[in-house]
Amino acid sequence: MAEGLFGGILGEEDAKPDIEASDALAGAETFASAVAAKLAGNDPEVARKTVEFLSKQSQLLDTQNEHLKDEHAARLHFLQGQAREVDLRRFGLRLRVGFQLFLVLVATAIGAGAVLMIRDAATSRQVVVEPFRIPSTLAAHGIDGAIVASGLLDELGRLQDDTRSTSAARGLTGAWSGSIKLDVPETGITLGEISRLLRDRFGHDVHIDGDLVEAPAGGLSLTIRGNGVPPKTIEGSAADLRKLTVAAAEYVYSKSQPGRWASYLNTHGRYEEAIAFCKSTVGSAEPAERAMLLTRWAVAIESSGGSTREGLGLERAAAKLQPNLWTAHNNIQNDLMILADEEGAWKAGEAMRSVAGGRPGRAPEPMYQNWDYLTWNLKPWLESTVADAEANAGAGSGVISAGPNIADIEMRLHDPEAADLALKTAKEDPDDLPGNAMIHHVRGRLALEAGDFATAVVELDAFGIAYANPAVGTNNPGYHCWIAPIEEAARHPDKADAFLKSAGTFVDCYRFRADILDGRSNWPGAQKAYAEAVALAPDLPAAYYSWGVALAKHGDLVGAEAKLIDANKRGPHWADPLKAWGDVLVKQGNMKAALAKYDEALKYAPNWKQLKEAREALAKQKS
């Protein structure tokens, strides 16, 4: 582009000498003819000489003209060469600048890589298993250091996979996910070597090694040691190498990640071990681990039948020690629910949201599960539970496996097919007593939905038996209240009454008792029970909802609408009050408003069959 433009300008300028030379030559010849004609009349000799002179001048001009043409071509060639040279210089300059920029980018990338390596090294909390030292006598039997180290690595991986804990999400033990690795010495200087040197210098890795020797009395003696891991010797028979490895892995796990180890003990029902471990470790642990150990200690106490108030005290101490330990805040809510203080649990959830800076905020969504349960905030509860399960091998990070919890939420969303699928695909865990009890609970409600009262009673009775175990009851507070309406539906009023007398002061128990009294035509008693249910927890929606449905059934549409408005205010994302409110509006003849309530309800329970049918029937009626 530049050369063409530049060449065009040069051609135009160099054309001027040729034009001027031609004009001069034509003018000379005309002048010579005019002068010769003039002089011929005076002196022929002068005229002749004049003509000769002017002819020579004309020849000179012709020669100059030819020279100018040749010079023009040469100048044009020269200037075009200069233009190409300028372009080459420009290209060279661009190339040089580009190369310099490339060098800057390479240097920046190297610098950024170095910074990242140093940062990763400084924040590294890995467990690095070194090859063990093995005597030649054992090596002759096919046992070498790498085999022992690999066996220990495998067991550590198994323990990691078997631990349901929220600590990884807090970044305290995130290095465990995919970071436990076998370290084999390398030759030469590589990036791996540099990374290892940086971690050794700046990191917080735990390096594990040891010895496997033949014990003096026979058998094997395995010694484990590491930085931050005091030496420990474990002995067993020559055939018990795997048992030795399992014991060694548990020891390493407990010393390197005490909070996760305590969680592992709890999820496998080893409560007494968990209590003893937390007591002996909490004083010497780093602050973050200390707070987690307090929460694990509280869970172990309550799950083994100990004092809930003692556990609540430990949870509050953990939250005070580490205000952003969201597990402690979640467990405080759960403890208050166990104590039948659901209003207090709701307030504790509000306090957690304030500490977290709102929702969404700093607290992970799964930590709102108790608040979501109390306020029937079902879709966020379901979404956070599913996400937690997907991030933790399908089991989730809570004490209860995610599958049964998901099934329970689906039932609350009136989606029995999804609930049934969640049960069928739930990850089996024989040690998960609360989760296995929840399976009975959901199956009972599925049977009730299908009108199979006999199966519903069997399943809920099985849940009631399991609920008597503190490990189940403390993790599902208030769920036993659902036994009463199912016994009543199965025409077992005596069992329903007996159960409610000992069920405790839970909102669900009180509102179900009111429903039962209303079903027995004891409307005054039902009204009193509804009022008591509301008084238990005035900031929760469930009692208002049940009361509103009952008032509508008795023809008090104004009173029913008022209670349903109260329920919607306290549980704005709960579909049931909205659907019931729509039903009331239909009875009042306000079809447009009723349709709006049905549409709003569908946002929160999109697969609710009865809601869809009510909405379709009303839409047809309007059209």
pLDDT number for residue 5: 36
Beta bridge partners of 171: none
Which segments of 124-144 does DSSP mark as H helices, in order?
136-139
Angle ∠(343,345,350) on CA atoms, nearest 5: 95
Task: Write out the two tokens for 557.
Answer: 């549409």
Q: Name the pLDDT band for 41 (thresholds 50, 70, 90).
A: low
**Which of the pair, 455 or 112, is modelled with greater confidence?**
455
Asked which of 156-165, 313-322, 402-411 is least confident by mean pLDDT, the reply is 156-165
Asked whether 110 and 48 are in contact (CB, 8 A), the reply is no
d(CA 470, CA 479): 13
The long-range contacts involving 587-594, CB below 8 angstroms and separated by at least 24 positions, are 587/552, 587/557, 588/557, 588/561, 591/618, 591/621, 591/622, 592/622, 594/618
87 three-state secondary structure: helix
Reported as a pLDDT band with limits 50, 70 and 90, residue 608 is very high
Measured at the alpha carbon of residue 137, what is the angle toward residues 133 and 140, in degrees to the nearest 5?
A: 100
Query: With contact defined as beta carbons under 8 Å apart, do 572 and 545 qualify?
Result: no
Of 155-164, 419-428, 576-585, highest mean pLDDT: 576-585
Percent of the chain residues past pLDDT 70, beyond the cut: 84
- Quote the CA–CA distance of 175 and 167 in Å, as a whole number: 11
Residue type present at position 555: G
* CA dist., res. 303 & res. 217, Å (int): 42
- 146: Cβ–Cβ under 8 A, 6 or more apart, which residues? 131, 182, 184
**What pLDDT is recorded for position 104?**
85
Judged by average pLDDT, the poorest of 40-44, 205-209, 273-277, 608-612 is 40-44
From 175, 154, 173, select the one nearest 165 (Cα to Cα).
173
CA 190, distance to chain mean position in Å, is: 33
Tens-place pLDDT, residues 290-312: 999 999 999 999 999 999 999 99
Type of residue at 552: A
Bridge partners (DSSP) listed for residue 206: 127
Which tokens in the block code for residue 164? 């349901």
Identify the residue with better confidence: 91 or 460. 460
The answer, yes or no, to whether residue 244 has pLDDT greater than 80, is: yes
The confidence score (pLDDT) of residue 157 equals 85
pLDDT at 21: 45
Pairing of strands 206-214, 127-129: parallel
CA distance 352 to 276: 29
Looking at residue 530, its amino acid is: Y
CA dist 436 to 9, 443, 460, Å?
A: 91, 11, 12
> What pLDDT score was predicted for residue 23?
53
**pLDDT for 103:** 85
CATH class, domain 258-366, is mainly alpha
- Which residues, in sequence order, are CB contacts of 172 under 8 Å at separation 6+? 259, 288, 289, 292
Cβ count within 10 A of residue 286? 11
Q: What pLDDT does residue 14 have?
A: 44
What's this model's pTM, rounded to 2 decimal places? 0.76
Residues 6+ positions from 477 with CB-CB distance below 8 Å: 334, 337, 338, 340, 506
| Average pLDDT for 166-194 | 48
How do residues 528-580 score in pLDDT, each as one tens digit? 999 999 999 999 999 999 999 999 999 999 999 999 999 999 999 999 999 99
CB 587 within 8 A of CB 552: yes
**C-beta separation of 451 from 416 below 8 A:** no
- The per-residue pLDDT for 42 is 58
pLDDT for 2 beyond 50: no
Which of 171-180, 190-199, 569-578 has the weakest average pLDDT?
Answer: 171-180
Using the CB atoms, write b or e for 573-585: b if 16+ within 10 Å. bbbbbbbbbbbbb
Question: How many residues would you count in the chain?
Answer: 623
Burial class from Cβ neighbours inside 10 Å (0-12, 13-18, 19+) for residue 270 reads middle
Q: What secondary structure, in 3-state letters, does 285-313 show? A: CCHHHHHHHHHHHHHHHHHCCCCHHHHHH
Hey, is 385 helix, strand or coil?
helix
Residue 125 is predicted with a pLDDT of 66
Q: DSSP labels for 449-469?
A: HTT-HHHHHHHHHHHHHHHTS
The CA–CA distances, whole Å, from 206 to 176, 234, 252 equal 11, 20, 9
Predicted confidence at residue 203, as pLDDT, reads 58
Task: Identify the bridge partners of residue 207 per DSSP, sorted by sequence position.
Answer: 128
Alpha-carbon distance of 368 to 398, in angstroms, equals: 12
- Residue 432's nearest CA partner among 274, 265, 267, 263 is 267
Tell me the per-residue pLDDT of 125-145, one tens digit each, with 9 for 90 and over. Answer: 677 888 888 888 777 777 888
> Which of the four pLDDT bands, split at 50, 70 and 90, describes residue 202?
low
Q: Which CATH class is domain 124-256?
A: alpha beta
Output 465 or 171, whichever has higher pLDDT. 465
Range of weakest confidence among 149-153, 432-436, 602-606: 149-153
Tell which residue, 400, 125, 399, 128, has the closest CA to residue 289: 125
pLDDT classification of 503: cutoffs 50, 70, 90: very high
Q: Residue 58, class by beta-carbon neighbours within 10 Å (0-12 exposed, 13-18 middle, 19+ buried)?
A: middle
| CA-atom Rg of the chain in angstroms | 45
Q: Which residues contact 394 (CB under 8 A, 6 or more apart)?
A: 402, 403, 427
Quote the CA–CA distance of 595 and 364 in Å, as a whole number: 36
